[in-house]
Amino acid sequence: MKFNWGTGTAIALGAFIALMVGFMVKASTEQEQLVAEDYYAQELRYQERLDQLNRTGSGQADLQVVGDSLLVTLSEVAPSVVLLRLQRPSDERADRSFELRPDDAGRCGVPLTGLLRGLYKAELEWTGPAGIVLVEERIVLP
């Protein structure tokens, strides 16, 4: 059998089809992990969230990791209840939520035992005189 352009074209086309089938099989076995199931509804509420982040008149928060605890200090009037959400970007199973009750000085602590070490996005949310206040910070658990 002689190798000519027709044989070369058939081999190239066959290799291309095999490569595409391999990619399709690999793509169908990959797991998709969304940040949130209702991402579209969250996107529609994004401007409201930006307004909450920009409310600085109600007070700000300071987050410090000390040992195995997270110290939260609110700089102005301390609300009665603060919601703390710790979100790990690489693994949603490590996300945690805490309901904090700061003291009169606006301080409270959260034990971090049992959490994976690494980067977390911390969100503090409370209701102040100007409305809902949202503070976001990135923290690293050593």
d(CA 55, CA 90): 29
- Supply the pLDDT for residue 1: 64
CA–CA distances in Å: residue 22 to residues 17, 18, 29, 134, 142: 9, 6, 11, 46, 41
CATH tag, 39-141: 2.60.40.3760
- Supply the pLDDT for residue 57: 47
Contact between 71 and 140 under an 8 Å Cβ cutoff? The reply is no
- Supply the pLDDT for residue 55: 65
Q: What pLDDT tens digit does each residue of the chain (142 aa) get?
A: 678 999 999 999 999 999 999 999 999 988 777 677 787 887 888 877 777 777 654 457 888 898 888 998 887 666 778 899 999 988 888 899 999 888 888 888 999 888 888 999 998 888 877 677 788 889 998 8
- What does the longest C-alpha to C-alpha distance in the chain come to? 91
Indicate the domain borders of the chain: 1-30, 39-141
- Supply the pLDDT for residue 74: 82
